[in-house]
Amino acid sequence: MSTYAITFLRVGAIAGWLLTVIAGCSSTSSDPPPTVTLDLDTSCADRAAWGANGSPDCSACLAKVQIACDCSHIGYEGKCEAVSIAKAKEPDCSAALDQCVAGCGGDCRCASACYAGHDACRARATELNSCMVQACDAYCR
């Protein structure tokens, strides 16, 4: 076989592999996102009660539930993408506010206090936390 034929076969194999990967990534979970919004204190308390919080399955869910395509098709990927984007675009939500909440380390009263005076951000955070708790509960409890 000539060098050109071998190169052509390699390019064809790579193109086929790429098409398989792209096709696998073209859709998100078929299950709709949770539609019931838990209030911030309830979703925070539910999350604080998780026994497997920090486990690989729980951590993967919490990270991937906000991303539309992970290619793993586990069932939760992308479920909370729309609310995650809405929170990120909310002008009332800032990096300082996110740092305040992250610094609370799961203390629900502390997190609630961070949102004082930031009603628009609190509403977006409530939607996102509620969605994440409902989508990841089975992996984190």
pLDDT one-digit tens code per residue, 1-11: 544 333 333 33
Which of 104, 105, 97 lies closest to 122 in space, CA to CA? 97
pLDDT of 106 above 50: yes
pTM value > 0.85: no
CB neighbour class for 52 (10 Å; exposed up to 12, middle 13-18, buried from 19):
middle
* CA distance to 13, 20, 97, 109, per residue, from 41 (Å): 52, 43, 17, 8
Three-state DSSP class for residue 21 = helix
pLDDT band at 26 (very low <50, low <70, confident <90, very high): very low
Burial class of 110 by CB neighbour count within 10 A (0 to 12, 13 to 18, 19+) = middle
Pair of tokens at residue 33: 């996102």
Helix-helix angle 56-64:119-140, to 10 degrees: 140
The pLDDT of 132-140, averaged and rounded, is 89
Tens of pLDDT, residues 41-77:
888 888 888 887 778 988 888 888 888 765 555 678 8
